[in-house]
């Protein structure tokens, strides 16, 4: 999974030969005819035509390897694809992303990771802590995937005994003894969790475990970590990552749904006040033509027919004969919203497709955008 540590390691490859970095929008919503292959071929051709011959020789094999990979790996694709390849096969890294990315092919003396960095900044990551009396596990959930990052195991925490006594200790003494060790363990967990979360700049935390251990660890969390907790789930200490993901997904979904609601609210309020935001397809298309869109928000399943200029990419819902911008030829398209989304991504804007259709946004045309100015 994509994380800051990995990006940092890639940044350290700076100067170690040439790298080819490919970003490809493979989102089926924006590639109804599978046209990402056309985009890829165009980018490869442009790059090989314009690249210094000496450099081209060095990265030629990496470029073919990338092309081959894209042509044969369709079944693995999600919405975005990133491939970074070093010269002479010295480095190879692939990311299948749950969000579409802007099409780019960059050859340089370093891996081009800015779009990946932006994904970490723009899409919430969730840390999941599963805690027990002598061990703990840390996971990260990002864009629908889960990865386990580490384990904290504290030795010397005595296990529960069937009978009250532990050696010759009285029940009370025994409990205190456990509490002391459990306390040490939890302090250790909280420390490690804190440094992990701050090192990775993770904004949200979900705590899992038994009711008892959740309560104990929550008691020990410093305020800045406690503020990040968005929910707790009852979960087994040894659950598999997939099980952990399915347990925390409802918490994540609910959190994101509330966030979407807030986004829609402020979008509508801002647009009604005069901006910088617009609502409704026509105004969104106009803003795209002016390259002012910062974040496009579109209701799930919203589509519309419209007109598309083959010359400059102008989009409109109005029936016109020639393009007002370039006099180019206009064609009718069935999926103008899909094309608009792709155009927004190409302009470096964020695109948020709502997880469920919004009645609120529907009243204003099911689409809107926050603008750059």
Closest approach, Cβ 291 to Zn ion, in A, equals 14
CA distance linking residue 30 with residue 340, whole number of Å: 9
Choose which of 92, 153, 325, 332 interacts with Zn ion (CB under 5 A). 325
Choose which of 326, 355, 357, 359 interacts with Zn ion (CB under 5 A). 326
Count how many Cα atoms sit within 13 Å of the Cα of residue 3 in the half-sphere of its side chain.
21
For position 320 contacting Zn ion by CB under 5 A, the verdict is no
What stretch of H or E contains 52?
Answer: none
* Nearest CB to Zn ion, comparing residues 130 and 293: 293
Determine the interface stretch with Zn ion among 135-143, 223-231, 250-258, 303-311 (rule: CB under 5 A).
303-311
Q: Which residue is nearest to Zn ion (CB)?
A: 323
Tokens describing residue 210? 């038994």
For position 322 contacting Zn ion by CB under 5 A, the verdict is no
For position 235 contacting Zn ion by CB under 5 A, the verdict is no
DSSP 238: T
CA distance linking residue 366 with residue 160, whole number of Å: 57
Choose which of 44, 107, 277, 323 interacts with Zn ion (CB under 5 A). 323
Choose which of 99, 309, 340, 349 interacts with Zn ion (CB under 5 A). 309
Nearest Cα neighbor of 299 from 360, 348, 370, 255 is 360
Closest approach, Cβ 325 to Zn ion, in A, equals 4
Closest approach, Cβ 262 to Zn ion, in A, equals 37
Tokens describing residue 246? 């399915």
* Nearest CB to Zn ion, comparing residues 262 and 329: 329
* Nearest CB to Zn ion, comparing residues 232 and 289: 289
* Nearest CB to Zn ion, comparing residues 38 and 326: 326
Nearest Cα neighbor of 280 from 220, 195, 340 is 340
Closest approach, Cβ 284 to Zn ion, in A, equals 18
CA distance linking residue 208 with residue 97, whole number of Å: 26
CA distance linking residue 69 with residue 22, whole number of Å: 11
Closest approach, Cβ 288 to Zn ion, in A, equals 13
CA distance linking residue 356 with residue 373, whole number of Å: 28
Helix residue ranges, H only, the chain: 4-11, 36-50, 53-72, 114-122, 171-200, 211-220, 223-226, 241-272, 281-289, 336-346, 359-362
Closest approach, Cβ 309 to Zn ion, in A, equals 3
Closest approach, Cβ 334 to Zn ion, in A, equals 19
* Nearest CB to Zn ion, comparing residues 316 and 358: 316
For position 312 contacting Zn ion by CB under 5 A, the verdict is yes
* Nearest CB to Zn ion, comparing residues 257 and 329: 329
Closest approach, Cβ 46 to Zn ion, in A, equals 21
Site for Zn ion in 126-165 (CB under 5 A): none
Site for Zn ion in 327-356 (CB under 5 A): 328
What DSSP string runs through 165-208? -BTTB-HHHHHHHHHHHHHHHHHHHHHHHHHHHHHHT--EEEEE
* Nearest CB to Zn ion, comparing residues 44 and 287: 287
**Positive or negative, the Cα torsion across 317, 318, 322, 325?**
negative
* Nearest CB to Zn ion, comparing residues 241 and 328: 328
Tokens describing residue 262? 């807030």
Size of the site for Zn ion (CB under 5 A): 8
**In 10 A of CB 72, how many CB atoms?**
9
For position 288 contacting Zn ion by CB under 5 A, the verdict is no
Determine the interface stretch with Zn ion among 137-145, 177-185, 247-255, 318-326 (rule: CB under 5 A).
318-326
For position 311 contacting Zn ion by CB under 5 A, the verdict is yes
Closest approach, Cβ 19 to Zn ion, in A, equals 36
**Distance (Å) of CA 369 to CA 264, 287, 308:** 10, 8, 20
For position 267 contacting Zn ion by CB under 5 A, the verdict is no
**Which residues of this protein are in contact with Zn ion, per CB under 5 A?**
309, 311-312, 314, 323, 325-326, 328
């Amino acid at each position: 999974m994509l994380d800051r540590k990995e990006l940092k390691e890639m940044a350290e490859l700076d100067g170690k030969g040439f790298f080819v970095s490919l970003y490809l929008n493979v989102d089926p919503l924006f590639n109804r005819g599978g046209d990402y292959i056309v985009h890829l071929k165009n980018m490869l051709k442009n790059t090989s035509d314009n690249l210094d011959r000496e450099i081209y020789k060095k990265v030629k094999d990496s470029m073919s390897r990338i092309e081959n990979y894209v042509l044969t790996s369709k079944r693995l694709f999600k919405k975005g694809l990133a491939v970074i390849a070093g010269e002479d096969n010295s480095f190879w890294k692939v990311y299948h992303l749950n969000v579409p990315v802007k099409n780019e092919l960059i050859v340089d003396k370093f891996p081009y990771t800015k779009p990946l960095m932006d994904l970490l900044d723009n899409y919430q990551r969730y840390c999941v802590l599963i805690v027990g009396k002598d061990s703990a596990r840390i996971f990260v959930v990002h864009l629908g995937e889960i990865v386990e990052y580490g384990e904290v195991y504290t030795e010397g925490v005595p296990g529960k005994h069937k009978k009250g006594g532990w050696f010759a200790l009285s029940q009370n003494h025994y409990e205190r003894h456990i509490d002391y060790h459990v306390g040490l363990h939890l302090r250790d967990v909280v420390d490690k969790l804190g440094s992990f979360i701050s090192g990775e700049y993770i904004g949200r935390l979900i705590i899992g475990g038994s009711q008892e251990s959740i309560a104990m660890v929550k008691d020990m969390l410093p305020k800045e970590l406690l503020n990040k907790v968005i929910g707790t789930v009852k979960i087994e200490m040894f659950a598999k990552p997939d099980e952990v993901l399915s347990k925390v997904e409802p918490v994540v979904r609910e959190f994101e749904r509330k966030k979407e609601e807030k986004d829609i609210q402020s979008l509508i309020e801002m647009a009604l006040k005069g901006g910088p935001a617009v609502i409704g397809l026509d105004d969104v298309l106009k803003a795209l033509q002016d390259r002012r869109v910062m974040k496009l928000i579109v209701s799930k399943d919203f589509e519309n027919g419209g007109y598309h200029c083959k010359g400059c990419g102008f989009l409109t819902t109005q029936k016109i004969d020639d393009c007002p911008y370039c006099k180019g030829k206009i064609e009718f398209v069935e999926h103008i919203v899909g094309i608009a989304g792709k155009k927004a991504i190409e302009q470096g804007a964020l695109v948020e497709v709502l997880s469920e259709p919004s009645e609120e946004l529907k009243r204003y045309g099911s689409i809107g955008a926050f603008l750059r100015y």
